[in-house]
Amino acid sequence: MRVRAHTGLEIDGFTIGEKLHEGGFATIWEVTHPLYRTPLVMKVPKILDGYDGPTIVGFEVEQMILPRLVGPHVPRVIGVGDFAVLPYVVTERIPGDSLLVHFRQAPFAVSDTIELAARMADALHDLHRQHVIHLDLKPENYLQRPTGEMVLIDYGLSRHDQLPDLLAEEFTIPMGTYPYIAPEQFLGSRDDPRSDIFALGAMIYQAATGKLPFGKPETLRGVRPRLWRDPIPPRALVPDLPEWLQEIILRALEVDPAKRYQTAAQIFFDLTHPAQVKLSDRAMKLKRDSRMTVWKRWWRMRKIKGFPAPVSVQSQISKAPILMVAVDLSPEMETLADLLRQNVHRMLATQPDMRVACVNVIKTSRIAIDSAVDDEGRNLHVSRLVGLRHWAEGIDLGDERLTYSVLENTDPAAAIIEYATHNNVDHILMGARGHSSTRRYLGSVSSQVVAEAHCSVTVIRRRDTAAEAEEQLAVA
């Protein structure tokens, strides 16, 4: 027997309190449960007054996906209700309003736009790593924890790699929020995580300019022109916007998914490393494409049926991973550095879309490193950057996928782990010398990284028995 949600209703141990929000497809209620002290909310679909196929199926999808998700970027699920009585999902309550309220104040200062966009991209990458494409990214589907992490909500249109796509099985019309929907979604695709990259790009555009890149179309027919019509360049609306930020925004908004950022981790990396963003013609644009260019694009797109999509979300992330290479530039480690470079070439042969972040660590004392110089009197930080670039000669990726960073820390292993964690690195490649009694008893940088890194690690070791014998004698 079905019941309606109302204040005072008790179901499955939950007591429904005040109605917090009523949208077009669901209502949100405050609820309590004797076993939980944390504030809770219950989401209930609006389907009791008649048959609404997409709403029913979408809520089934949300009930399937949400309980599988973990981490700070998703709401923790407490309970799920049966359609036979009252369909619902109970989750922790994230305090505060959605980003929709915040976005009404756009445009934001450049620094605020960058910081906000990076946190949004970080949350999206975490979702993609859990095999989910959101497919309805927009400001109202982002909440923010008091600790700063962005939380993605509303999975009614989402796709999980490892679950049946019920919406695709039952409906053929494109679904999404029209100002943010990607061109391939308009063409019916529901299996490309780069669709979320497009929506993220639209939101960054909105945050930076206060405008939507494609206006507010109210029909699918109004969405179609984005297959051939480019948006007004952000710098034409906000002249002080950095060229590198326009590069990021317009790359995320490319019509062809193959020309966009391939993962949310890559866009996060560029947002947090602006000095290393490779500028193209996108960065310099101050007006929209000419009529002739648009006409040629329309001619190519007028009969297009779709774009090639990856096999799965995980395959897309695996195809375009971020590889961190920790390079020791010491003269005695030259042979090991050569081995690292050879391994990078081998990995690129199988994963040509990989991004390579070359890193060197300066082990510091508590004394500031700013004035430290090398043996030739050059600033140590600058000389290490030069050394990294010299090491990477022959790795033909272009500046947009080959970056260099010099880290400073009293603990080199901690510096490597922190960099990898902050930048969503997928794999660490580093070197280590042969075994020695010193490393056996005191540990080594590589062993600490292997033990504590959140991602996979490959350690390349050279055999140098002479050096090991010297070290063992010194210890003795």
CATH 3.40.50.620 boundaries in the chain = 321-475
Residue 435 pLDDT greater than 80, yes or no: no
3-class SS letters over the chain: CCCCCCCCCEECCEEEEEEEEECCCEEEEEEEECCEEEEEEEEEECCCCCCCHHHHHHHHHHHHHHHHCCCCCCCCEEEEECCCCCCEEEEECCCCCCHHHHHCCCCCCHHHHHHHHHHHHHHHHHHHHCCEECCCCCHHHEEECCCCCEEECCCCCCEECCCCCHHHHHCCCCCCCCCCCCHHHHCCCCCCCHHHHHHHHHHHHHHHHCCCCCCCCCCHHHHHHHHCCCCCCHHHHCCCCCHHHHHHHHHHCCCCHHHCCCCHHHHHHHHHCHHHCCCCHHHHCCCCCCHHHHHHHHHHHCCCCCCCCCCCHHHHHHHCCEEEEECCCCHHHHHHHHHHHHHHHHHHHHCCCCEEEEEEEEECCCCCCCCCECCCCCEHHHHHHHHHHHHCCCCCCCHHHEEEEEEEECCHHHHHHHHHHHCCCCEEEEEECCCCHHHHHHCCHHHHHHHHCCCEEEEEECCCHHHHHHHHHHHC
Report yes or no: 323 and 357 within 8 Å, Cβ to Cβ. yes
Distance CA 69, CA 158 (A): 13
Distance CA 258, CA 54 (A): 30
Over residues 442-465, the mean pLDDT reads: 81
Which tens digits make up the pLDDT trace of 170-218?
887 888 999 999 999 999 999 999 999 999 999 999 999 999 999 999 9
Distance CA 404, CA 386 (A): 9
Residue 394 pLDDT greater than 90, yes or no: no
- Least confidently predicted of 38-42, 152-156, 364-368: 364-368
Instruction: For the domain made up of 10-92, give the CATH fold.
Output: Phosphorylase Kinase; domain 1 (3.30.200)
Which tens digits make up the pLDDT trace of 67-83?
999 999 999 999 999 88
Report yes or no: 15 and 31 within 8 Å, Cβ to Cβ. yes
- Least confidently predicted of 22-36, 329-343, 369-383, 445-459: 369-383
Distance CA 396, CA 403 (A): 12
- Least confidently predicted of 197-206, 280-289, 304-313, 435-444: 435-444
Report the CATH number of the 99-316 domain.
Answer: 1.10.510.10
Residue 366 pLDDT greater than 60, yes or no: no
CATH 3.30.200.20 boundaries in the chain = 10-92
The domain 321-475 having CATH identifier 3.40.50.620: the answer here is: yes
CATH 1.10.510.10 boundaries in the chain = 99-316
- Strands lying side by side in the sheet with 456-461: 402-409, 355-363, 322-326, 427-432, 456-461
Residue 89: pLDDT band (50, 70, 90) is: very high
